[in-house]
Structure 1
């Protein structure tokens, strides 16, 4: 391992003006969320057709369980690939994880029974879970500090761009006048596979994170990459702004042990760890409980045919996409703490009112969809901010693992339980039972809002190294 050295690489990256290079990073890496949104929406929109498939013959509970299998795979993938990302680098892993996703989602279209469908969904989730840790860390380390919040929320929000693609695809592929629904739902999973092939091509142009190289003693390589980025940006934008900030001294290391990760999380940054757990778990429960099972609610309680579900998913998805895009700028200007508290709190209050209205039968299918669209306009920004928070909270050397741990915990507690619980409640056929599920989700969002107000911290406009000191940074 190389000897200690002094560097200003983080400051050089943070002072760069926004350029085509940053757009390439956002598009090539941010497409992860498009793929996840596509997957979730396809299964949500196709739930009725999958349940009615003469080969699969799934009950409502089994549909919920397959959603949980996808999320369990995401937990496994996040932890395993997150650990590898901090050891082997961002670039290697965000190539491997998209390959896992590509193969598994295509295989899903060839499922022949409940178990094969659940297993393929598990491995599809593993690829997506690995993407979250590898890609989130890479994006945050390449984007200038002053735009990190806006960019991170917008990128996470593109989940709903994928959701819109999934909803639109289902309208065509489930139309019996166009194609046999039994074949249509199988072909739908090929949409994600086709999209991920283009992702592989785009990602070959994304460099390894200079910040990761820096802490692993590969100083010359990090310097070369930052120099190339500066030349690229200067050619487009002209002379670059001066570098501001004191250089930091790095004592390189080959890896960070799991014991050191645990000590850092639960001793050095205990408040941030608690905050991350609450934000991730609460939003995961609400999102996955509602979204994975909404198609079942529409078919069971409103009599909407399976082929028409996409029409209801599409406005829901567009509202979710609009939230982070419209509100994201305020997380960098007004600040993280106020905006995260407000978006979680508004989503919780509105969800409670909507759950009660659903139980009373006051809402038509379109009115119910309109209500969810407004609620998740705010909830989408809140959920995206949860990923931003856990990415910023901890030192560089364990960033991917930190993201993976909180994503995994939040998904396991909130996401796996939610779809299974709501699937069982829907199968019971009582609106009142489902209302209590919605009220539970609302209460969790309000708990998250209170936790953010109490434990939230200011990270807007600050370099990652000043928000959380690198473990390899030598003492001043």
Structure 2
């Protein structure tokens, strides 16, 4: 799979699997945009501003626990079963949210919506990296993660349409918005039916005939498209595997965190850094615009849409460099670069230099650089651990990073913004920059040069035959 040229099957994988981040971006932005309507007396849901914040935390908790639960199942049951199951969970929970009439119903639905999205992260990143050729893996992974911001852009405009009281009643518009989001997920389920299971996963779990059939079908399609013979696999690229139907959790944990402790530290630094910066600032950006720049609720979604577009462009433009320049150089550069740009952002905000647009320009530059680095955190953890642990490793570091940075960051920034003290908010920017810089420094000393390499060369499977062992399959 790693040696294959780019072909139509790879576009199908991008379309079928990359949509999870669009849904997550849509979800987070949509609920943020709908919040003002939900707390109004005529919304049909008796919920307060504080309970909206609690719902956001419950969504994150669901995503963290869902990632861990479904991540383990992804390694055990297979990529395809789980990226179908987690999307079904998301669709059902989102649709059910539209019928919430009490806060507790809203909370339960938000928990399971988050669980579906968190499970998607583990299943999708595993499948993408195991199906995409090695020389394209970095840019594809970063681009797919970056599509979160397409969902956020769509969510900003989408919410304006459904919140228009000339078209929808106050107690119905937000429900229709959630219902349509769930229907979008149903459409994606049908698209995903054509994405194959990972041949790597099948082979390691004793289903080599199915794996061979999938690879032969893909190779046949590519030969037909390119009308050229494919590069042959050299004998030095072959590994021998002890096939097993299941692998104990204890063995997975021992290999992932006992054999690769430096890689574990690296992933923690990268995930906590990006989660603190992104969740801390983006979750509170609307109130920051309103409290410090006088932007009303009707204009804030337009600024959020601009912010989202800049983030997507960062992933789109910088992504290819992760394959061409290299992982370590680009990850360190994006983490440290975004941290450095935050320093002038601090002074622009503190002194109100350039007004709103002076702040927006520097904020956009910071996140244009940061977005590719944040996406590379997912790419890193999905590449540098053995295949049998891949989904669970993604889930673990996502859960820890989101749990630490994704909860502390928003709470801290929220309190700073509420204080009305520009100095405290500026301190929040510098703190976020410092934590991002730690991730960049960790990459310099602990990073792995994974560009262009087979996943098995970066981290040998747990089931790979050791010298002197017998009864394995090549």
Please tell me the TM-score bracket, short chain as reference: over 0.9
The CA deviation at 1:53 is 5.6
Deviates more, 1:223-232 or 1:183-192: 183-192
RMSD across aligned positions (CA): 1.8
Distance 1:353 1:409, change over 3 A: same
Q: Deviations over 1:60-81 (max 9, x none)?
A: x544332221111100110000
Q: Is the 8 A contact 1:67 1:416 kept in 2?
A: no
Q: Secondary structure at the match of 1:457?
A: coil
**Conserved in 1, the CA contact under 8 Å of 2:223 and 2:230?**
no
Q: Distance in 2 between matches of 1:300 and 1:179?
A: 29
| TM-score, length of structure 1 as denominator length | 0.93
Residues 305-344 of structure 1 mapped to structure 2, 5 A cutoff: 305-344=296-335
- Mapped pair 1:58 → 2:48: yes
For 2:229 and 2:431, locate their aligned partners in 1 and report how far apart those are by CA, in whole Å: 51
Q: Is the 8 A contact 2:156 2:301 kept in 1?
A: yes
* CA displacement 1:105-156 (0-9 Å, x = unmatched): 2222333344433332211110000000011000100000111001111111
Counterpart contact for 1:65–1:419, Cα < 8 Å = no
Give the 3 Å change call, closer, same or farther, for CA 106–307 of structure 1 in structure 2. Answer: farther
User: Given the superposition, is the C-alpha separation of residues 56 and 374 from structure 1 closer, same or farther in structure 2, using an over 3 Å criterion?
Assistant: farther
Query: Is 1:275 aligned with 2:266?
Result: yes
Q: Give 1:223's aligned residue.
A: 212
Partner residue of 1:236?
A: 225
Alpha-carbon distance in 1 for matches of 2:390, 2:106: 33
Moved more, 416-425 or 326-335: 416-425
- 1:73 maps onto 2:62 in alignment: yes
Decide whether aligned partners of structure 1 residues 280 and 434 sit closer, same or farther in structure 2, where only a CA change above 3 A counts: same
Which residue among 198, 201, 204 is the counterpart of 1:212?
201
The corresponding residue for 2:256 is 265
Counterpart position of 1:85? 74
| Gap regions ≥5 residues in structure 2 | 468-474
Q: Indicate the residue corresponding to 2:433 in structure 1.
A: 442
| 8 Å Cα contact 2:13/2:195 also seen in 1 | yes
Determine the structure 2 residue equivalent to 1:463: 454
CA contact (8 A) 1:44 1:294 kept: no
Q: Which residues in structure 2 correspond to 1:325-404 (within 5 Å)?
A: 325-362=316-353, 364-404=355-395
Supply the distance in 2 between the matched residues of 1:468 and 1:234 (Cα, whole angstroms). 29
Greater alpha carbon shift after TM alignment, 214-223 vs 179-188:
179-188
Q: Is residue 2:455 matched to residue 1:453?
A: no
The reply on whether 1:194 has 2:165 as its aligned counterpart is: no
Q: Where does residue 29 of structure 1 map in the other structure? A: 17
CA distance, structure 2, for counterparts of residue 144 and residue 388 of structure 1: 14
TM-score normalised by the chain length of structure 2: 0.93
Supply the distance in 2 between the matched residues of 1:380 and 1:317 (Cα, whole angstroms).
10
Gap runs ≥5 in structure 1: 1-12
Contact 1:150 1:332 in 2 (8 A): yes
Q: Which residue of 1 aligns with 2:98?
A: 109
Instruction: Rate the CA distance shift 1:50–1:444 in 2: closer, same or farther, 3 A.
Output: farther
Q: Displacement of 1:461 after TM fit? A: 0.3
Instruction: Pick closer, same or farther for the CA change 1:63–1:299 going to 2, 3 Å.
Output: farther
Q: What SS does structure 2 have at the residue aligned with 1:14?
A: coil
Shift of 1:438: 1.9
- The reply to whether residue 154 of structure 1 matches residue 114 of structure 2 is no
Q: 1:362 to 1:50 in 2, by over 3 A?
A: farther
> 1:42-71: per-residue Cα shift (whole Å, max 9, x none)?
123334334446544423x54433222111
1:317 and 1:444 map into 2 onto residues whose CA distance is 22
User: CA separation in 1, counterparts of 2:293 and 2:98?
Assistant: 28
The more displaced of 436-445 and 95-104 is 436-445
**C-alpha deviation, 1:349, in angstroms:** 1.7
Aligned twin of 1:9: none
| Aligned equivalent of 1:298 | 289
By how many angstroms is 1:181 displaced?
4.9
Contact 1:276–1:406 (8 Å) recurs in 2: yes
For 2:39 and 2:291, locate their aligned partners in 1 and report how far apart those are by CA, in whole Å: 12
Q: CA deviation at 1:289?
A: 1.1
SS at match of 2:465: coil
Provide, for residues 198-246 of structure 1, a one-character-per-residue CA deviation record: whole Å limited to 9, x for no partner. Answer: 1110111111110000100111111111111111111211133222333
Deviation at 1:468, TM superposition (A): 0.3
Q: Matched residues in 2 for 1:371 and 1:185: separation?
A: 33
